[in-house]
Amino acid sequence: MTITALRPSVNTTLNLETRLALVDAAMSVRLDEAAVAFEVNTAHLPGADPIPLRLTPTAAPNPYRTPIAGLLHRARIRLETSGWCRDALYDESGAVCPIRAIRLEAAGRDQAHDACVLLLDAIQADFPGAETIPSWNADQTSPTPVLHAFDRAANHAHNRGL
């Protein structure tokens, strides 16, 4: 029996999205095959449970190209990873308040000041009664509104080219 492969008569080039989809499909098949091979090769071993796959989260890439917007994004990520502190600059567990997160991520005092001004502007847009970042932060019951304020401030900074 002879098998012949047919070639298209037109020279076709695949775009990047199509090539990535093909590689993704091929890798999925290879990973599935490797999982089956592992199960078969270790089935006779007592206590040979599959190795759990634990992925460690990495910091999200900075979606902003402007320095203040990038600073606000990094400070937001710091709040998420270190934890949010409400009544102090930081606590014994390493959690930080919004101003401390900004100061830790800033390249200098001027940059930290500009970021704090933008954050307060974003806060006051939604909470007109907020006088300062610390007073508003102390009124919050969860980190969610704080993280949203950082997102809004970063978007404002990006839109202004800051």
> 1 lies in a domain?
no
> 61 lies in a domain?
no
122 lies in the same domain as 72 = yes
22 lies in the same domain as 71 = no
- Cα gap 64→60, rounded to integer Å: 11
> 62 lies in a domain?
no
Residue range 54-110, pLDDT digits in tens: 555 555 677 888 899 999 999 999 999 999 998 888 888 989 999 999 999 998 999
Q: 33 or 20, which is more confident?
A: 33
76 lies in the same domain as 153 = yes
Number of domains making up the chain = 2
46 lies in the same domain as 98 = no
Per the CB < 8 A criterion, the answer to whether 59 and 68 are in contact is: no
> 3 lies in a domain?
no
pTM value > 0.75: no
Host domain of residue 142 = 67-160
Residue range 41-55, pLDDT digits in tens: 776 666 655 555 555
> 46 lies in a domain?
yes
49 lies in the same domain as 76 = no
Residue range 108-152, pLDDT digits in tens: 999 999 999 999 999 999 999 999 999 999 999 999 999 999 999
Which two three-digit tokens encode residue 16? 């990047």
> 94 lies in a domain?
yes
123 lies in the same domain as 99 = yes
